[in-house]
Amino acid sequence: MTEMIDPFDRKVSYLRVSVTDRCDFRCVYCMSEDMTFLPKSDVLSLEELDRLCSAFIRKGVRKLRLTGGEPLVRRNIMSLMHNLGRHLKTGDLDELTLTTNGSQLARFAGDLAKSGVRRINVSMDTLDPDKFHKITRWGKLDKVMDGLKAASDAGLEIKINTVAVNGFNDMELDEMLGWCGDQGYDLTLIETMPLGEISDARADQYLPLSTVRERLSKNWNLTDIPYKTGGPARYVEVGETGRKLGFITPMTHNFCETCNRVRLTCTGTLYMCLGQDDAADLRAPLRASEADELLESAIDEAIGRKPKGHDFIIDRDSNAPATSRHMSVTGG
Burial class (CB in 10 A: 0-12, 13-18, 19+), 50: middle
User: Which H/E stretch holds residue 329?
Assistant: helix 327-330
**Position 169 contacts ligand SAM (CB under 6 A):** no
Q: Which of residues 108-137 bind ligand SF4 (CB under 6 A)?
A: 123
Q: Decide if residue 192 touches ligand SAM (CB under 6 A).
A: yes
What is the rounded distance in angstroms from the CA atom of residue 332 to the CA atom of residue 196? 13
Nearer Cβ to ligand SAM (59/65): 65
Span 215-274, contacts to ligand SAM by CB under 6 A: none
Distances from the Cα of 283 to the Cα of 111, 159, 186, 224, 279, angstroms: 29, 32, 36, 42, 12
Interface with ligand SF4: number of residues (CB under 6 A): 12
The answer to whether 99 contacts ligand SAM (rule: CB under 6 A) is yes
- Which of 4, 12, 23, 43 binds ligand SAM (CB under 6 A)? It is 23
Q: Please name the residues in contact with 302: beta carbons below 8 A apart, sequence gap of 6 or more.
A: 262, 270, 272, 280, 282
- State how far the Cα of 208 lies from the Cα of 251, in Å rounded to an integer: 8
Q: From the list ligand SF4, ligand SAM, none, which binds 26 (C-beta under 5 to 8 Å, kind-based)?
A: ligand SF4
Segment 85 to 104, residues that bind ligand SF4, using CB under 6 A: 101
User: Which residues lie below 8 Å from residue 11, measured CB to CB, with a gap of 6+?
Assistant: 3, 4, 5, 60, 260
Span of 34-42, 65-73, 252-260, 266-274 interacting with ligand SAM by CB under 6 A:
65-73
Task: By CB under 6 A, tell whether 192 contacts ligand SF4.
Answer: no
Confirm or reject binding of residue 27 to ligand SF4 (CB under 6 A): yes
CB atoms within 10 A of CB 119: 14
Residues lying near ligand SF4 in the complex (CB under 6 A): 23, 25-27, 30-31, 68-70, 101, 123, 328
The residues of the shown chain that bind ligand SAM, judged by CB under 6 A, are 23, 29-30, 67-68, 70, 99-101, 123, 161, 163, 190, 192-193, 195, 327-328, 332
